[in-house]
Amino acid sequence: MPASRRGSGTLTTPSGQTLAFHTRTHDEEDLPHATKKTMADHLRKYESLFTLTPQRMRMIVEAFKDTLELGLQKHDQVVPMIPTFVFGWPTGKERGDYLAVDLGGTNLRVCLVTLQGEGKFEITQSKYRLSEEQKQEDGQKLFDFCAECLKTFIDSNIKEGTIKEGQELPLGFTFSYPCSQERIDHGQLIRWTKGFGVTNTEGRDVAAMFIESLGKADIPVTLTALINDTTGTLIASHYVNPRTKIAVIFGTGCNAAYMEKMGNVEKSKSLGIKDDAEMAINCEWGAFDSFEHEHLPRTKYDKVVDETSNKPGEQAFEKLISGRYLGEILRLVICELIDEGVLFLGQNTYKLEAPYVFDTAFLSLMESDPTDELLMIIGIFTHFFAVETTLAERQFFRALAMLIGKRAARLSACGIAAIVSKMGYLEEGCSVGADGSLYNKYPGFADRIHEGLIDIFGEKGKNIVTHHAEDGSGVGSAIIAAMTKERKDAGLYTHV
């Protein structure tokens, strides 16, 4: 059999045994396609594609601001700017025991949070694994499981004395799937994400379904608030650090939340809430620039990622910056260079050809300690993809990973800057509570966000500081349950 277009092939021995072969040599002098000069020439091309200038960033910020404003004015916008019915900031004086249930993509987490005031708290929690079957079966069965886990957790804590027998506790339910809300304890599921395909749920009130399951299990709780994890992150971070005005999540997806005066939320005027009242807004900003694609610097690789995704045209901002996609962007560049005969000539590269096999975690490893990263790159390519690399290739891969990661961080800074600019936070400055795997684990991601803010705002950009956020889906959910109980006990906006 002749060699393939990538210089690999097989031959059959006289005994009938099939052997794979390649002609790669370790001697870089025999590999002009992999020399330092050639790789440097290619790198310059990708630098021009993936580099975001300060001027371009400022243009994106202005377009982002306009999009946020439009989402506040009208329903059914690309960036929906969802009212959360979480009114105002925590005082820091919230006290008492609260339960939180967090239905995530992999686990169900149940927490007992004791708020101690002065920004302090204690948390006890248990995790329960969700099976793949549970992610696809009937919706009521899923909520029955949630209720059973909560009952198990409560019974266990009664035995340990942390919950009193017969004590009825307020419950915050973190449900981080797109919902339309008309009040704090209601949420109509728009669609499942994160691989869920649970039936008989979309279009229904998930809070009511969970309350039904709680009743069947005879659990002494009151479901006080249904929240998104980004909103919880905003409130939990402010509880601990009152300078926090914005919360962001940069992980598998991306999102932001902040506090808005209701007088600016034109689409919610019919609720009868005073203009000077403040409410947390769940931006769902991963959809920025979807469909029209007028503002974001999409390369041909980004377009392939979009067109081959399960929702083409949607979540345009998220597809440039979230952990779900960065590894795939790098893989597409590598495959293009393989096809052009630049990389891995003479080697079998089929393992690199499957979409999403190049995990974003690999990019993170490539940007780790500079004394180890080239060895790390050898390990990634030999262990996972069975290909050998030259020194010039490894240096190129590291530089390319840095370009893609840096662009993601600088675009993230554009989103933060849009809210800062819209709300007038630049002069006095503010803290931004940030969470998610990219922010927490990707080397240099936070520093690059800060550099991006300075490029956008000049030296005043130093007034905006991100910090690791508090646990929004646990602690934040409990604080919101406490705030909601206090609000309704005081007779304030009880209809929402």
- Torsions phi, psi of 365, nearest 5? -65, -35
Q: Which residue has the higher pLDDT, 21 or 53?
A: 53
Asked if 90 and 470 count as a contact pair (C-beta separation under 8 A), the reply is no
Average pLDDT of the residues in 49-64? 98
Q: If you average pLDDT over every residue of the chain, what do you get?
A: 89
What's the pLDDT score for residue 106?
Answer: 77
pLDDT tens-digit map of 290-303: 999 999 999 999 99
Tell me the catalytic residues: 176, 191, 229
Residues forming beta bridges with residue 466, ordered by sequence position? 432
Query: H helices then E strands: how many in the chain?
Result: 15, 15
Say which residues have a Cβ less than 8 Å from residue 32's Cβ, sequence separation at least 6.
Answer: 38
What contacts 292, CB < 8 A, 6 or more positions away?
Answer: none
Cα radius of gyration rounded to whole Å, the chain: 25
Does the pLDDT value for residue 159 go beyond 80? yes
Instruction: Answer with the residue of higher pLDDT: 333 or 40.
Output: 333
Which of helix, strand or coil describes residue 20?
strand
The model's confidence at residue 252, banded by pLDDT at 50, 70 and 90, is confident
Query: Residue 121 is which amino acid?
Result: F
Q: Check residue 310 and report its DSSP letter.
A: S
pLDDT tens digit sequence for 271-289: 999 999 999 999 999 999 9
Report d(CA 485, CA 481) in Å as an integer: 6
Give the angle subtended at the CA of 440 by the CAs of 323 and 305, to the nearest 5°.
10
pLDDT of the residue at 370? 62
pLDDT at residue 5 tops 70: no
Which element (helix H / strand E) includes 143? helix 139-159
Tens of pLDDT, residues 133-155: 998 999 999 999 999 999 999 99
Return d(Cα 448, Cα 403) in angstroms, integer.
11
What single-letter amino acid sits at 131? S
CB 463 within 8 A of CB 426: yes
Q: How many alpha carbons lie under 13 Å from residue 291 in its C-beta half-sphere? A: 4
Cβ distance 342 to 46 under 8 Å?
A: no
What is the pTM (predicted TM-score) of this model?
0.87
